[in-house]
Amino acid sequence: MNTESKGVAVVTGASSGIGAVYADRLARRGYDLLLAARSREAMSDLARNFSVETGRQVQTLVADLTDSKDLAELERILREDAAITLLVNNAGMASTAPLLNADVAEMSRMISLNVNATRLTYAALSLFVRRGSGTIINIGSIVGVAPELLDRVYGGTKAFVLAFSQSLRKELEGTGLTVQAFLPGATATDLWKKSGTPVKHLPQEIVMPVEDMVDAALAGIDQGEFVTIFALPDAGQWQIYEVARQALRPNLSRVEPAARYGIARVRA
């Protein structure tokens, strides 16, 4: 049993699925835990089991991160608790409904929840930067890169997570902080049932067990990856994508329209 603490890992959406497995793996790696989720009973059971099995200290916070008061309380803890060394922004919701069939109120709630990683990261950063260490793991999705694969609003929120992570990583260069954007594909969790398509209705050859997925994510961060796509056999494919994206940058903003549009301006 590992008795030396690596600090406190905060895991949102920690009562089941990806968040629960992250909590288990991080406790086994030597982190004490703060679990945040809506389900008091589920978190209490997990906290008790993790504490017994790993010897780590496990706290829980019952919080709905679409509720401003609950969100503010977790932000306060992240700002003030110097023991926190790692934040897993995992809480989120999904939808598989076509846009025209979607509930607009649920869409708004999904947008709010899935992008609240911004506020929580902001809250944690001041302590992390002053200390010169800390890890932020943002759980995105492959639909952040390929939004046409699923509900368009969900894909948009996960594209935000990726873009936010890219910008954050650039801003934090040289500070000693670690940022990882983890982009899962189809994973065997109850998120699918909640979103309207039970996982058993998916082609089973694309669905990975959640334990394997989280283990791959942590292996990715151990290897220094910024973006981890756990099913991608050739990491060079992401590098090719990134090189192509970077090649666009010098031409994204210029004083004149590209010549291909045939717009000639007379300049004084």
**84 burial class (0-12, 13-18, 19+ CB within 10 angstroms)?**
buried
154 tagged catalytic: yes
Residue type, 81: D
Tokens of 76: 């306060």
Return phi, psi of residue 5, to 5°.
-85, 140
Distance (Å, whole) CA 90 – CA 86: 12
Closest Cα partner for 230 from 219, 241, 245?
A: 219
Considering 22, 31, 154, 261, which one is annotated as catalytic?
Answer: 154
Q: Among all residues, which ones are annotated catalytic?
A: 154
